[in-house]
Structure 1
Amino acid sequence: MKIVKIINNNLIQSFDNTGKEVLVMGCGLGFKRRIGDEINKDKIEKVYALEDKNYSNKLIALLSDIPLEVIQTTNEIVSYAKYSLGKKLNDNIYILLTDHINFAIERVNKGFQYKNALLWEIKRFYNHEFLIGKEALQIIKKKLKIDLPEDEAASIALHIVNAQLNFNNVSETMDITKMIQRILNIVKFHYNLELDEYSLHYERFITHLKFFAQRIFNGSEIQDEDKKLYEIMRERCREAYLCAEKIKKYIKKEFKTELTNEEMMYLAVHINRITKQTE
């Protein structure tokens, strides 16, 4: 690869062997170099694909202003998250998480206290991502010599969840988290009982609610397929359907979305399982 543009000593624009525009990062990669020079492969730490113009402009602006060690630390956290989850993450995480970690460090250095209002919910609904967030704090401590509070582990977890859902804004992931909590509260109040949060059925219900909420926010839905099965399950799980009707009203009021019979059936089945087990 040859240098097309030098952003700073650590960032260079180039083209890969397929002709796609890329941003290449590495300590001292652009130092005393000229356009047209071959890039020193031994110094390359990260190559960012610049397929989307809007994304590339944001990435270049961000990485130009943030200290290299913060960028390197974020890249290590994202790599660890991908490995731990065994999943591909939306490339937007490089922009959003780098910006967040840099801001979090500035906040701590200025002595500001940060409290994540969704800390408890994130621990419960996104436990794997939260544990990755806690590991991220250890990486930050080791690399940058700074201690961030546990609340930041929850924020990092939200960014990871956001990248899995392919959302462009973490606020959408926060809204999904609030929706899940609201639905669980509807179930608790309808049955007047506490749910067993350590049960397998509870874990499956949370997983269902994550995808359910994602469909609501994406505007997609499960289509009605088997009306006969719907009627049978409605008869078998009457109380669960009454509870699901309350969830249906909540979704319609808050998100202007009408749930299909298929969605109602799946909700009722999960509600029936989790409440029967708890009772």
Structure 2
Amino acid sequence: MSPRDGKKDEFYRIWRVISNNFVCALDEGGNEIILRGPGIGFKKQAGDLVPAGKVEKSYTLRDPEKSSRFAELLQGIQEDFVDVSTQIIEAAEKSLGRRLSENVYITLTDHICFAVERMKNNTVYSNQLLWEITNFYPAEYAIGQQALDLIERKLQYRLPKDEAGFIALHIVNAEIDGKMGDMVRITEMIRDITETVQGYYGSIPDEKSLDYGRFITHLKFLGQRILRNRYAKEDDAEFQRMIARRYENDYQCALKIGEQLRKEQGVALPGEEIMFLTVHLHRLALSMGYYEKEE
């Protein structure tokens, strides 16, 4: 049975009704999609048709488990929360210029729902990583701040700035398609490494500099590779030795970071990762004025 009947793109055939305004259907590939539109599920049942023109938004979650979780979530919360979450995600994708993991529709919607519930109960969670989030992920934190304004405008609740950090972390996590716990670990790892770098060079980097931004981005993806045990590959051993000789001081800092990761996280960075880390450290040191000029 086709997911749509009649002329192309005119109708969806309902597979399951979630609520008055949400239904499940199937796309052309047989994948489950969730449709949102005013009254599209009212007095409907499986097999009924929904005009495509009445659909305001479609959610394509290719993982059946995630699709089921999202459908279950939709049954238990006010639709305003879904609308707000969707607007935040779409604004984030536009601002960042990239698609986010589909799982963020579940995690962010759920988070906002519970954040508002906690506020109603006068329970506030402090964000222990707020400084790290604002400094390591400034673009995502700006999205989080805008999200607080949207939540206040749409839901009439002004959440604390800590929540802007939590929302930012959900966005960052959706960028790398990981787990929230992993993103927290990566953020803590970045914090520890930047503290080591500041101590080693005896200087605080300009957090607005291009080289600092590149360094933080490198650490973010390094953390992702560590968690997935998939490291960068560079088979040119002579090139690695050349980098170690040319940037010996930065190489020693990279080795120190590698030893730190071995002790704290039980991981052994391969030579390729040490080399790339050395290059980024050298660029960062130059931007901090540690060296008078490029060698």
Which is further off, 47-56 or 169-178? 47-56
Residues 96-151 of structure 1 show CA distances to partners (whole Å, capped at 9, x for unaligned) of 00000000111111112221111111111111111111111111112112111111
Larger helix share, 1 or 2: 1
**Are the aligned partners of 1:2 and 1:37 in contact in 2 as well (CA < 8 Å)?**
yes
Q: CA deviation at 1:223?
A: 1.8
C-alpha distance in 2 between matches for 1:34 and 1:276 = 65
Correspondent of 1:138 among 149, 155, 158 = 149
TM-score relative to the length of structure 1? 0.94
C-alpha distance in 2 between matches for 1:12 and 1:96 = 20
Query: Is 1:90 equivalent to 2:119 in the alignment?
Result: no
C-alpha distance in 1 between matches for 2:30 and 2:208 = 51
Query: Is 1:122 equivalent to 2:133 in the alignment?
Result: yes
C-alpha distance in 2 between matches for 1:194 and 1:48 = 44
Cα pair distance change 1:142/1:49, threshold 3 Å? same
Cα pair distance change 1:86/1:190, threshold 3 Å? same
C-alpha distance in 2 between matches for 1:195 and 1:100 = 33
C-alpha distance in 2 between matches for 1:234 and 1:12 = 59
Tell me the residue number matched to 2:112. Answer: 101
Tell me the residue number matched to 2:212. Answer: 202
Tell me the residue number matched to 1:214. Answer: 224
Cα pair distance change 1:194/1:40, threshold 3 Å? same
Query: Percentage identity across aligned positions?
Result: 40
C-alpha distance in 1 between matches for 2:113 and 2:126 = 17
> Could you tell me which amino acid in structure 2 is paired with residue 257 of structure 1?
V
C-alpha distance in 1 between matches for 2:115 and 2:222 = 31
Q: CA deviation at 1:67?
A: 0.5
**Are the aligned partners of 2:32 and 2:64 in contact in 1 as well (CA < 8 Å)?**
no
TM-score relative to the length of structure 2? 0.89
**Are the aligned partners of 1:224 and 1:260 in contact in 2 as well (CA < 8 Å)?**
no
> What SS does the aligned partner of 1:39 have?
strand
Tell me the residue number matched to 1:190. Answer: 200
Tell me the residue number matched to 1:155. Answer: 166
**Are the aligned partners of 2:61 and 2:103 in contact in 1 as well (CA < 8 Å)?**
no
Query: Is 1:12 equivalent to 2:23 in the alignment?
Result: yes
C-alpha distance in 1 between matches for 2:91 and 2:19 = 27
C-alpha distance in 2 between matches for 1:135 and 1:66 = 22
Q: CA deviation at 1:236?
A: 1.9
> Could you tell me which amino acid in structure 2 is paired with residue 71 of structure 1?
V
Show structure 1 runs of 4+ deviating over 6 A. Answer: none
Tell me the residue number matched to 2:9. Answer: none
> Could you tell me which amino acid in structure 2 is paired with residue 192 of structure 1?
G
Correspondent of 2:278 among 261, 265, 268 = 268
> What SS does the aligned partner of 2:243 have?
helix
Q: CA deviation at 1:3?
A: 2.1
C-alpha distance in 2 between matches for 1:34 and 1:198 = 55
Tell me the residue number matched to 2:44. Answer: 33
> What SS does the aligned partner of 1:23 have?
strand
